[in-house]
Amino acid sequence: MKKPISVGISPRHIHLSKEDFHRLFGPDATLTRTRDLTQKGQFASEQFVTLATSVGRIENVRVLGPFRDASQVELSATDAVGLGLNPPVRDSGDHEGSPGITITGPSGRVDIPEGVILAQRHVHMTPKDAREYNVVDKEIVFMALSAPTPNSMRSAPRTVIFGDVLIRISENYRLDFHLDTDEANASGARTGDSSVLFKIGGAPLDDNRQYYPEKRLYSEFDVRKARQEGMIILIEKDTILTPSALDLGREKGLFEFR
Ligand SMILES: [Zn+2]
């Protein structure tokens, strides 16, 4: 059995672009760190905003840092119902076709045309972890919550196995399984609980590994395609990689060295 993976619960929050932040908090405001999050470089700020639609509003939504290219609101399904929204379940940063919302801060208001999502449950890990668990970036796996611990509110008859869990790999990540508050409340999971990764069918993990067609030279295009299709690239002694292919494959843990 592979080592268990800790659970982290993400309450509703917002990531802001620099431009939106200054419209909401003023041109001289700075995004102030109050606490570091599990993932390297990510932090909870001291700033809060209000979210509103014609149907409802939610106050005191925490801004997370650092700034993003585009603002993004991550809600629970219950929050979305209260706002009359039907956001898609998405990986962070994927906003196409998602609903917009009105954001209000102490110095102004911003209407974002899109960017409200329900975060797809996911596991953060490093390329080294990925080798241990035998998974690739963007692969979909199952996560089972481990047996209840004394400080967990979960009782054995409500044990939950989550499907559609997205694997996210980066050198900057730390091993953690992220759920939103609805998922946590329904299953009784709490931050610090442990969980186990597995793939359907109960087959040995090695049997699920798929390899990208073998070539002598791989470009960044090949690495992106392998990543999209959840495949591993086999690297032999005489394999040639373009520099960008090497960087991307290393960062995402897509290489197996022979
Ligand atoms: Zn996360």
Write the pLDDT tens digit of every residue in 153-178.
Answer: 555 567 789 999 999 999 999 999 99
- DSSP type of residue 211: B
Average pLDDT score, the chain: 90
What is residue 26's predicted lDDT score, i.e. its pLDDT?
Answer: 97
pLDDT tops 80 at residue 148: no
- Residue 36 bridge partners (DSSP): 43
Q: 49-67 burial string, b = 16+ CB within 10 Å, else e?
A: bbbbbeeeebeebebbbee
What dihedral angle (degrees, nearest 10) is formed by the CA atoms of 175, 181, 185, 189?
Answer: 10
Task: State in Å: Cα 191 to ligand 1 middle.
Answer: 12
In angstroms, the first-to-last Cα distance of the chain is 25
Contact 89, 143 (CB under 8 A): no
pLDDT tens-digit series, residues 213-255: 999 999 999 999 998 888 889 888 889 999 999 999 988 888 8
Q: At what angle do helices 243-252 and 220-228 cross, to 10 degrees?
A: 30
Q: What is the mean pLDDT of residues 37-51?
A: 95
Task: State in Å: Cα 155 to ligand 1 middle.
Answer: 25
pLDDT tops 60 at residue 111: yes
What dihedral angle (degrees, nearest 10) is formed by the CA atoms of 188, 190, 194, 199?
Answer: 60
- Which structure tokens are listed for 131? 């080798």
Task: State in Å: Cα 163 to ligand 1 middle.
Answer: 16
pLDDT tops 60 at residue 203: no
Task: State in Å: Cα 46 to ligand 1 middle.
Answer: 20
More confident residue, 123 or 193: 123
Q: What is the mean pLDDT of residues 177-189?
A: 93
Task: State in Å: Cα 48 to ligand 1 middle.
Answer: 20
CA gap 92, 89 in Å, rounded? 10
CA gap 254, 119 in Å, rounded? 24
Task: State in Å: Cα 202 to ligand 1 middle.
Answer: 26
What is residue 122's predicted lDDT score, i.e. its pLDDT?
Answer: 97
Task: State in Å: Cα 234 to ligand 1 middle.
Answer: 29
pLDDT tops 70 at residue 18: yes
Task: State in Å: Cα 39 to ligand 1 middle.
Answer: 8
Q: How confident is the model at residue 257 (pLDDT cuts 50, 70, 90)?
A: confident
Task: State in Å: Cα 235 to ligand 1 middle.
Answer: 30
Q: How confident is the model at residue 202 (pLDDT cuts 50, 70, 90)?
A: very low
CA gap 135, 206 in Å, rounded? 9
Task: State in Å: Cα 29 to ligand 1 middle.
Answer: 26
Task: State in Å: Cα 31 to ligand 1 middle.
Answer: 20
- Which structure tokens are listed for 33? 């760190």
Task: State in Å: Cα 173 to ligand 1 middle.
Answer: 9
Task: State in Å: Cα 38 to ligand 1 middle.
Answer: 9
CA gap 177, 9 in Å, rounded? 8
Q: What is the mean pLDDT of residues 125-141?
A: 92
